[in-house]
Amino acid sequence: MPDRLSIVIVEQDRERALLIVDSLRASGDHEIHVISERHGLARLISERNPDVVLVDVASPSRDMLEELTLASSPLDRPVAMFVDQSSDSLTRAAIEAGVSAYVVDGMAPGRIKPVLDAAITRFHMFQSMRAELAATKRALEERKIIDRAKGVLMKARGLSEDEAYALLRKTAMDQGKKMVDVAEALVTAAGLLS
Amino acid sequence: MSLTPLTLGYIPLVDAAPLIIARELGFAEQEGLALSLRAAPSWSTLRDLVALGQIEGAHMLAPVPVATALGLGGLPTRLDALCVLSVGGNTVGVSTALADQMRKAGHGFDFADATAAGTSLIAAAGQTLRIGVPFPFSMHAELLYYWLGALGLEAPQALDVRTLPPPLMAEALAAGDIDAFCVGAPWGSIAVENGSGELLLPTSAIWSFAPEKVLATRHDWAESEPDLAARLIRTMWRACRWLAEPFNRMTASEILARPDYLNLPAEMLERSLSGALVISPRGDQRMTPRFLHFHEGAATFPWRSQAGWIAARLAARTGLDRDAAQRAAKQVFRSDLYRDALASTAAPLPGASEKLEGALDAPTEVTTQSGSLILQPDRFFDGQVFDPAEK
C-alpha cells in the first residue's frame, strides 16, 4: 500500500476547507481534494476513490455518504464510518469536534489516526472561531440598539447620556429583562409614535 | 419529586410530534422525566449520537436499528427499538414536468391506487427512474423497492434510489437530477407549496400499516436502565394517544410550528396530521384517512414481524442471509420491554408479538391480555402476505 493517503473533504465553506487542508498537509504528504458540490456527492466521491472521506457532522449532506457504506457492486470498495479497533474514543472525539470520517474497509487505524487528529484540531478551532465571531457580531448589534434607545430617551426626556443609560438599566432590572430587549422595545415604540 | 434528566434527539419532521408533545404537554414530567430535545442535522449523525451515548435515545427511521443489527452502516453498537412512534406519513412526489406527462397519458392522480400510479410512473419515466429518499435505510427506500419491484421495475438497472437530504430535494427536482422523491411530512407539502412537485401517492397506499419511526436507544442502556426505559415507553404511549384525538390536531400543529421546532406554518403541518393533503400547486386536495397515525390499532407496539419484514427486504437487497437477518432483527424490536412497561396501564396489549403482515383487509378485533383490541388494516397494495415464520 502506498504511503500517500488520498483524502476527500466534503465542505462548502471555502475558508474552512482551506484551514483543514493546511492542517492535513502538515500531518503528512497526502493527496487532498475538496468537494463543495452538493449534487451527486456520492458519485463525485466514488470517482475520486479516496481512502478517507472527512465530513462535517453538522452537514445534512452526511446522509448522502451513508449510501457508500452499501457496496452496490463487487468492484466497489466498501466504506465504513471510522471506528478505532481498540475503543471508540477517537471516533467519539471526532464526532464531538464535529467531524465524521469514512474510511475504506480494512485500513489500519494507525494510518488514519494522525489525519483524524489533525482534522479534529481544525474543526475545533474553526468552531470556536465561528462562535467568537457570532458573539462579537451580536455584541455590536446590541450596542447599536442600546445607543439608539439612549438617544430616544435623551431627546424625549432631556436626560444626559449617563442618565439615559442608568434608566434603561434600571428598567431592565425591574422587569427582569435583558437591557437590549428593553432598548429594542423602546426603539420600536418610538418608531411607531414618531 | 426530583425529575430524571433525559435527552432525546429528533429530526424536525411532523412525526417527531410524540417527542415534542411529550415534552411540551407534560407527559414526560408525569413519568418523572425532565425531557430535553435535541434536533439533529442528519439521520447518520442522530444514529451516531445515540450509539456513542451522547443522548439516551432518538426518534429514528424504523429500518435504522435493523440495519445496525445487520452490520449495515454506522458503529457496531446495537440499537433497540423500544416502541413504534408513528405509522405511515410519507408521500411519493414527482416533478411538475413528469406530472404533466403522466396526466397527458391519462393518469388521474387519485392519490390512492398504487398500481395505477406506479404503472403510469414507470411508463412516463423512460430508461431509468431516479428517486430521492432521505436515507438508504428507511421505509421510504424499502417501500419504493417493494412497490416498483412488484410492478416489474428492476433495481438497480431501471430504478435508481438515491439519498438526498429533504431540504435539497426540490433543488434536485428542478435541476433534473431526480425524477421523483419519497419523503416524510412536511417535505411533500413543501415541494407542492414551492411549486417544484406534485404528490402522486401516500406510502400508506403501498403498505397501509408500515411502521415509520421508532424510539431507539442503545441496547446496553435499555438493559441497564429498565425503569427509565419503561417510563419512556409509557410517556410515548400517552403522547401518541393524545395525538390521535382529532380535537388535538390544531394544538399539536401550533406547537410543532414553533420556531424552535419545525418553524413552518401550522396550517401546512395540520394537513399531514389530518390526512387532508394538497397534492398540486393548483390546490387539488385529497383526503387520506390514516395517512399518518400514532395510536389506533396498537400503532406503537413494536411487532417483531415488522422488524422481520424490514430485515427480509434489506437482506434481499444487500445479499445477506435472510433467515439470520430476520432472527437478528426481531431481537431489536423490543415487544418484551413494551409489554412490561405498559402492563400496569390501560393500554391494550396484543397476545402475540408477531403477526402475518398484510393479512388484514378490514379493522379486526383480537383478544388481548386485558380485553380486546381492534387491529387496523395492514395490507400491501399487491395483496401479498408476509409470514415472519417462513424461511
Nearest C-alpha of chain A: how many angstroms from B167? 9
For residue B365, what are the contacts with CB-CB under 8 A and spacing of at least 6? Answer: B372, B373, B374, B375
What is the CB-side half-sphere exposure of residue B87 using CA atoms within 13 A? 27
Spell out which residues of chain B touch residue A70, defining contact as CB-CB under 8 Å: 72-73, 136, 318
Tell me how close the Cα of B74 comes to any Cα of chain A, in angstroms: 6
Position B221 scores a pLDDT of: 97
Would you state the cell numbers that stand for residue A179, as one nine-digit string?
437591557
Closest Cα in chain B, distance from residue A61 (Å): 6
Mean pLDDT of B12-22: 96
Please provide residue A161's backbone torsions phi and psi, each rounded to the nearest 5 degrees: -60, -40
**Range of weakest confidence among B22-26, B221-225, B289-293:** B289-293
**Choice between B381 and A5, residue whose per-residue pLDDT is larger:** B381
Answer whether residue A107 shows pLDDT above 80.
Answer: no
Q: Which residues in chain A (76-95) have CB-CB distances under 8 A to chain B? A: 81, 83, 88, 91-92, 95
The pLDDT of residue A1 is 41
Cβ–Cβ < 8 Å for B13, B244: no
From the list A67, A83, A96, which residue is nearest B75 (CB)? A83
Average pLDDT over residues A152-176: 93
Mean pLDDT of all residues in B23-46: 94
β-bridge pairing B129-133 and B180-184:
parallel
Indicate left, alpha or beta for B106 from its phi (over 0: left) and psi (-120 to 50: alpha): left
Per-residue model confidence (pLDDT) at position B95 = 93
* pLDDT at B302 > cutoff 80: yes
- pLDDT at position A68 is 73
The whole-number average pLDDT for the span B7-27 is 96
- Bigger pLDDT: B215 vs B391: B215
pLDDT at residue B351 greater than cutoff 60 = yes
Look over chain B and give the mean of its residue pLDDT values, rounded to a whole number: 93
Q: Which residue has the higher pLDDT, A78 or B378?
A: B378
**pTM, 2 dp:** 0.84
